Chains A and B, each alone.
Chain A
Amino acid sequence: QVQLVESGGGVVQPGGSLRLSCAGSGFIFRTYGMHWVRQTPGKGLEWVAFVRNDGSDKYYSDSVKGRFTISRDNSKNTLYLQMNSLTVEDTALYYCASRSCPGGDCYTNFWGQGTLVTVSS
């Protein structure tokens, strides 16, 4: 069955960096676009970034643009999120999610269990 497993979360000081990973299995990873979405009790679910299936195009929310970088290694079935210049507002549970596009209807179908990022001094 489809599995997405995030890792790399932890506690980091403001201004620090972290790299999150998301390992996919049970599906043809290289054929799916992939999102990062984060969740906090206060702001709810917030889209962070997206990368096309072949890594050719990347998109970011305004809140992370210039600080976060999404990438993928299809040979390893793994998605990444490099997070730099972290602030307390980046504290959240980070999910990776796959995007399915049958007939152009591009919805988010599978999600991982999330990895927790805490930015605190």
Chain B
Amino acid sequence: EIVLTQSPGTLSLSPGERATLSCRASQIISSNYLAWFQQKPGQAPRLLIYGASTRAPGIPDRFSGSGSGTDFTLTINRLEPEDFAVYYCQQYNTSPALTFGGGTKVEIK
């Protein structure tokens, strides 16, 4: 099983700042089969990024994904108030089986 470790657990930032979230895999994720999701309280996860760097339809360009192999990053430029949420990475290299990271909470400082 591919284990995904996200860091930091919590990120305290102000609106307008940049958020950098990390996701490290225990094994190489081939073909960059890694996605990022945003989840707000009481809501389902929302797809932001797939294929490590491709934005899903309707996702603002302040969200960007990068990385390959075992190290991946989600960057949120110029945080908006609606961006404060929990973010999860997910690998689908072993699809249909999926694994998720433990999440990073981006909170208002």
Binding site for B on A (CB under 8 A): 33, 35, 37, 44-47, 50, 59, 61, 95, 99, 105-114
Taking CB as reference atom, which chain B residue is nearest A113? B44
Question: B11 interface residue, CB < 8 Å from A?
Answer: no
> Are the C-beta atoms of A44 and B102 separated by less than 8 Å?
yes
Taking CB as reference atom, which chain B residue is nearest A34? B96
> Are the C-beta atoms of B96 and A35 separated by less than 8 Å?
yes
Main secondary structure of the interface of A (DSSP, over half): strand
Binding site for A on B (CB under 8 A): 31, 33, 35, 43-47, 50-51, 56, 88, 90, 92, 95-103
> Are the C-beta atoms of B92 and A108 separated by less than 8 Å?
yes
Which residues of A sit under 8 angstroms from B103, Cβ to Cβ? 44
Q: Using known A-B contacts A109-B56, A112-B44, determine if residue A50 contacts B96 with beta carbons closer than 8 Å.
A: yes
Which residues of A sit under 8 angstroms from B100, Cβ to Cβ? 44-47
Which residues of A sit under 8 angstroms from B31, Cβ to Cβ? 105
| B44, B50, B96, B97: the one within 8 Å of A111 (CB) | B44
> Are the C-beta atoms of A108 and B44 separated by less than 8 Å?
no
Shortest beta-carbon contacts, A-B, top 10? A50-B96, A45-B100, A107-B50, A111-B44, A47-B98, A59-B96, A106-B95, A107-B35, A113-B44, A44-B102
Which residues of A sit under 8 angstroms from B46, Cβ to Cβ? 111
In the assembled complex, the Cα of A37 lies from the Cα of B95 at a distance in Å of 13
